[in-house]
Structure 1
């Protein structure tokens, strides 16, 4: 059996103290959530039960190897012993009837990836009316990828432009101002994937 803890409590201070704050209670909560008693967790982590009891009560400070053993026995990442933050879901499903459409001046948009779930990434479905004026130039940090589903989409950059038809796509640095418009007498529907939502300059 491996001990790996000091029998005398240390006074938490500085960054080490902040990291250890709440550690014992968090380990106890994770153990309880898994339906384990202290004896079972101690056996799985190859620790003396008295040492584990000291860690959970805050009267003993565990070494890093002991924390690694506890994390493995609890089937969690080492970082989860130091924070109450939980990882997001591995997969998020949005049904078609669950995604609202927002209309704004001849353009409708459905945001398909809520930022709260997938930070830093967005995917959206746009419908741009042929009767509306072109979307004023926008610019933001990151990259954009547009894929036309139907109609014709005209994309105008500072010194260049292109017209995309169904099945066509374009990718570009979104730091470059770009203006979108539907041409050909019909609405343009397209998917956009990028780092941030379009915002006016």
Structure 2
């Protein structure tokens, strides 16, 4: 009994590996399921069910899929390559704040993380504090951050974090030198801070 369970688990591992590898190789080559189906002489609905895990891999599928994707059967059985996890993206400066992206596309909850550097020259708030939809969160790494929230004026020291609704009139800048911080911005906050001329 334990042997059959072990064999079943091994078959499941092979199935999952081929399924992931099939999809990865197909997308790398810019091929559709129809393309692979034509080249492998396997019905497109069968291929779709293989990729989604709704159908088990048959032994005769392996050489035909490998040939369709121009790889050896060994390559098809190999574990899929892990995508490069590093976040790429250049700095973006707006209104005396430089933003470095720390997250890629599609983070949880639609939030994007940035390392920000607020210039020492950003000290004068606008006559009317901006308001927009969303929520901001910041953690100060170095320097002292000045945060205006409605009628209140805060000085945030290194090692302190703040979070606030951006429906509250707000502005942030430097107290007496450049400030570095980590910021989490939702879609609306990102649009306002990075893509508009709001001060």
Structure 1 length-normalised TM:
0.51
Gaps of 5+ in 1: 1-23, 41-89
Question: What's the CA shift for 1:122?
Answer: 1.2
Query: Does the 8 A contact of 1:154 with 1:181 survive in 2?
Result: yes
Query: Does the 8 A contact of 2:123 with 2:175 survive in 1?
Result: no
Mapped pair 1:103 → 2:122? no
| More helix as a share of residues | 2
* 1:183 matched residue in structure 2: 175
- State the Cα RMSD in Å: 3.5
Matched position secondary structure for 1:127: strand
Q: Give runs of aligned pairs for residues 30-179 of structure 1, distance below 5 A.
A: 30-31=49-50, 36-37=57-58, 93-94=85-86, 98-114=88-104, 116-118=105-107, 120-134=110-124, 136=126, 137-179=129-171
Change beyond 3 A, Cα 1:32–1:122: closer
Structure 2 length-normalised TM:
0.52
- CA deviations 1:176-201 (Å, max 9, x no partner) are 121011012x1011111132315149
Gaps of 5+ in 2: 1-42, 62-81, 193-197
Change beyond 3 A, Cα 1:138–1:109: farther
The correspondence for 2:186, drawn from 172, 195, 198, is 195
How many correspondences in the alignment?
126
